[in-house]
Structure 1
Amino acid sequence: MQYKEMFNIENMNFADKIYIFDTTLRDGEQTPGVALTVDEKIQIAQKLNNLGVDKIEVGFPASSNGEIESARKINDLDLQSTLVGLARSLKNDIDAVLDSDLGYIHTFIGTSPLHRDFKLKKSKEEIIDSAVSAVEYAKDHGLTVEFSAEDATRTERDFLLEIFSQVSDAKADFLDVPDTVGVLTPLESRELITDLKNKLKTPISVHFHNDFGLATANSLAAIECGADQAHVTVNGLGERTGNCSLEELVMTLKVAYGIDLGLDTTRLYSLSNLVGRLTGVKMPVNKPIVGDNAFAHESGIHVHGILNNSSTYEPMSPEMVGHSRRIVLGKHTGANSLKSKLKEYHIDLNDDQFDSVFSQIKSLGDSGKCVTDDDLVSIAITELASARETPIIIKGMSISMGANVSPTATVKLEIDGVEKETAQTGVGPVDAALSAVRELIQEDIDMELEEYNLEAITGGTDALAEVFVVSSDSHGNKSTGRSTNQDIVMASILAVLDSINKLLLIQRTQ
Structure 2
Amino acid sequence: MSKRKIEIMDTTLRDGEQTSGVSFSSSEKLTIAKLLLEELKVDRIEIASARVSEGEFEAVKNITKWAKESGNIDRIEVLTFVDNGISIEWMLQAGAKVQNLLTKGSLNHLTYQLKKTPDQHFSEIEETIKSAIKNDIETNVYLEDWSNGMRNSKDYVFSFLNFLSAQPVKKVLLPDTLGVLTPSETFEYISEIRLAFPEMHIDFHAHNDYDLSVANVLEALRAGANGLHLTMNGMGERAGNAPLASVVAVINDYVKDCGIAVNEKALYSVSKLVETFSGFRIPANKPVVGDNVFTQTAGIHADGDNKKNLYFNDLLPERFGRKRKYALGKASGKANIQKNLQELGLKLNDEDIKKVTRRIIELGDKKEIVTKEDLPYIISDVLDSNLIEEKVVVESYVLTHAKGLRPSTTISIKIEGELIEENAQGDGQFDAFMNALKRVYSNKKMSLPKLIDYAVRIPPGSNSDALCETVITWKNETKEFKTRGLDSDQTVSAIKATEKMLNII
- Aligned equivalents of 1:164, 1:130: Cα separation in 2: 15
How far off its partner does 1:116 sit? 1.7
In the other structure, the counterpart of 1:25 is 13
Please identify, of 177-186 and 78-87, the stretch whose mean Cα deviation from structure 2 is larger: 78-87
Structure number with larger C-alpha Rg: 1
5 Å matches for 1:15-414?
16-49=4-37, 50-78=39-67, 79=70, 81=72, 82-90=75-83, 91-155=85-149, 156-200=153-197, 201-258=199-256, 259-310=258-309, 312-383=311-382, 386=385
1:7 maps to none
Alpha-carbon shift at residue 383 of structure 1 (Å):
4.1
Cα separation, 1, equivalents of 2:175 and 2:130? 21
Q: CA deviation at 1:215?
A: 1.4
CA–CA distance in structure 2, aligned partners of residues 87 and 384 of structure 1: 68
Alpha carbons of 1:15 and 1:143: their partners in 2 closer, same or farther (altered >3 Å)? farther
**CA 1:179–1:329 in 2, change beyond 3 Å: closer, same or farther?**
same
Equivalent residues of 1:135, 1:167 under 8 A apart: no
Aligned partners of 1:378, 1:118: CA distance in 2, in Å? Answer: 68
- In structure 1, give the amino acid aligned to 2:112: F
CA distance in 1, matches of 2:278, 2:133: 34
In structure 1, how many angstroms separate the alpha carbons of the residues matched to 2:26 and 2:248?
Answer: 27
Letter aligned with residue 317 of structure 1: L
Q: CA deviation at 1:102?
A: 1.6
Compute the TM-score of the two structures, normalised by the length of structure 2. 0.74
Q: Deviations over 1:457-483 (max 9, x none)?
A: 9854357989xxxxxxxxxxxxxxxxx
Pairwise CA distance, 1:387 = 5.6
- Conserved 8 A contact 1:89-1:131: yes
Give the conservation status (yes or no) of the 8 Å contact 1:205–1:230: yes
**Structure 1 unaligned spans of 5+:** 1-9, 389-447, 467-483, 496-510
Query: In structure 2, do the counterparts of structure 1 residues 486 and 52 end up closer, same or farther at CA, with 3 Å as the change threshold?
Result: closer
Provide, for residues 307-326 of structure 1, a one-character-per-residue CA deviation record: whole Å limited to 9, x for no partner: 34446333311111122211
Cα distance in 1 for residues equivalent to 2:421 and 2:378: 24
CA 1:92–1:260 in structure 2 vs 1: closer, same or farther (change >3 Å)?
Answer: same
Letter in 2 for 1:84: E
Q: Helix, strand or coil for the counterpart of 1:96?
A: helix
Q: How many residues are treated as equivalent by the alignment?
A: 407
Between the aligned residues of both structures, percent identity stands at 31
**What is the identity, as a one-letter code, of the residue corresponding to 1:43?**
T
Q: Structure 2 vs 1, CA of residues 459 and 354 (structure 1 numbering), >3 Å: closer, same or farther? A: farther
Q: Normalized against structure 1, the TM-score is what?
A: 0.73
Q: Which amino acid aligns with 2:227?
A: Q
Answer yes or no: is the 8 Å Cα contact 1:72–1:101 preserved in 2: yes
Q: Name the CA distance, whole Å, in 2 between partners of 1:172 and 1:311.
A: 51
User: How far apart are residue 268 of structure 1 and its match?
Assistant: 0.3
Could you tell me how far apart the structure 2 residues matched to 1:218 and 1:162 are? Answer: 24
Task: Say if 1:272 and 1:449 are closer, same or farther in 2 by CA, change over 3 A.
Answer: closer
Q: Secondary structure at the match of 1:57?
A: strand
